[in-house]
Every structure is written in structure tokens, then in C-alpha cells.
Amino acid sequence: GEYADDGSEKPTILIYGHYDVQPPDPLEQWVNNPFEPLIKDGYIFARGASDMKGQLMIIISAIQAIQSNGSLPVNLKFMIEGEEEIGSPSIKSFLEENKDLFKADFVLNLDAGMIAKDKPTIVYGLRGLAYFEIHVYGPDHDLHSGLFGGIVYNPIQALAELIAGMKNKQGQIQLPGFYEDVLLIDEEERISLSGLNQGKEYFINQTGVKSLWGEQGYEPVELIGARPTLDINGIISGHVAEGPKTVIPSKAMAKISMRLVPNQ
């Protein structure tokens, strides 16, 4: 969509957002139905309310507020998509085919949040994402551990060793060359980040853990925005249903994501 006010000479902002959301699983952990918005203590609880249907509503309300008090000082274009959570596979070709349609002076990405409801926030950088699956194969079919246990390299064991070797005890990622091109934050940025008052207790309260863990030498607020990460998002292998089944699985798989910083 687009909105041009009374002059084409005004700068043009391209506003980006998305309306698709993450899968709702596990459903049993929801207090309310994720597909039915619930208003509680002045907040809307629903699937995708903060990522990012809420931001789309906020920008529309902001534009209406400006218009009710005069004219917009800029022209507006909107790109609101439904593929962000799966990597936006259609956007690249769509933009290349419609360059003039999306021509703008700068882009405003709504896909971020505020530190607190009383602290307006400008997010000037977001980490990228690389997502992988690792598949490990062993015997050509599942085996009985009573008959073959002890002579076959269990794919779960192999996968666990691979994963364990990806980080050391200091939280540093051990993949060769991983940090080579990482852009370091400067002292001015560290000072700015420290002024956000997001110390260890802030994140302990946010996450429900008893203590934090991560790459040594950096404050938590630096680790969540300015340092790259590697996380295991899921492991699938063998028998995981209720009850015993003494199986040596024929394969194992892990899902891994990396949050990437500038120059990586």
C-alpha cells in the first residue's frame, strides 16, 4: 500500500512488517486459546500479538494521530508480508520485479519492541539468522540394545558429542572461523547499552532461570544483541513416547540456529 500526501517532493518511508506468526505449539501450555485474543490487565494476549500484529496496529494508529493534527511530513509506502517466519522466500524476486513500486528514501522496520511501556526505544540493529539441520545415520534399521548394544555407535551418542563440541565451557562457539569477521562493539556502544539498566537480575526475572550462562567477557545486554549465538532448537531420535523401548535408533537429527552479527 502507499499514501502520498500533498507533495511528491517529500521524503518517502517504506514501512515493513509481517502478519504471520510462530507455530502455537505446545498448545497444552497456553492458559487461554491462542486463537482467541484475551484482554487482561490492559494487555492483549494472543498468538502473534507482539510479533507482530501489535506493531502493525500501532503504526496505523500513529499515522491516524498525526493526520488528525495536520498533514504528514512524509510520503508512505507499506510492505506487509505473510512469509517472514519461514524466511520470506518470495520477497527477493518480488522486490527485483517491482523496484519502482518500493523506491523509498529509507525503510522503517516495525519488527522490534520497546524495553518498557514507559521507555520509547529505537532499535538500530538486528541480528541475522542461519538455520540448519544435522542428520546422523548409523545402522540401516533400528536395533535391539540387548542384542547389539555395545558394538554399534549410537547415532544419538554421536549427535550429542557433535553438539557438545560446538561450545566450550566459557560459552565460546568452537566452529572454525566462526568469529573471524565479527564486528566488535565499541566503547560508546557498550556505555549506551549499560544505560538501559538491563543487568543480570532483569534477564533472570524475564526467563525464570536461577542464573545466566553465556560467552564470558560480555554483559548480558551485549550478548543478546551484539554477539553471535549458536542454539540447539530441537532433537529428534529414537523412542520418545511413554514407556520403555530399548532401541538403538538408526538415525538422529538436530535443529540448530545461529544469530549472526554484522560482517559474518
Catalytic machinery residues: 20, 84
Give the C-alpha separation, 189 to 193, whole Å. 6
Q: Check: CB of residue 59 under 8 Å from CB of residue 66.
A: no
Q: Which of 16, 20, 45 is nearest to 33 (CA)?
A: 45
Say if residues 260 and 128 touch (Cβ distance below 8 Å). Answer: yes
Question: Phi and psi (nearest 5°) for 102?
Answer: -105, 15
| Cell numbers representing residue 146 in the block | 540387548
For residue 252, count CB atoms less than 10 angstroms from its CB and return exposed for 0-12, middle for 13-18, buried for 19 or more: buried
43 forms beta bridges with 40
Residues 58, 59, 60, 62, CA torsion sign: positive
On the 0-12 / 13-18 / 19+ scale of CB atoms within 10 A, 209 is: exposed
Residue keyed to cell 538491563: 198
Greatest distance between any 2 Cα atoms in the chain: 81
Q: Give which of 134, 124, 178 is closest to 155, Cα–Cα.
A: 134
**Amino acid making up residue 69:** N
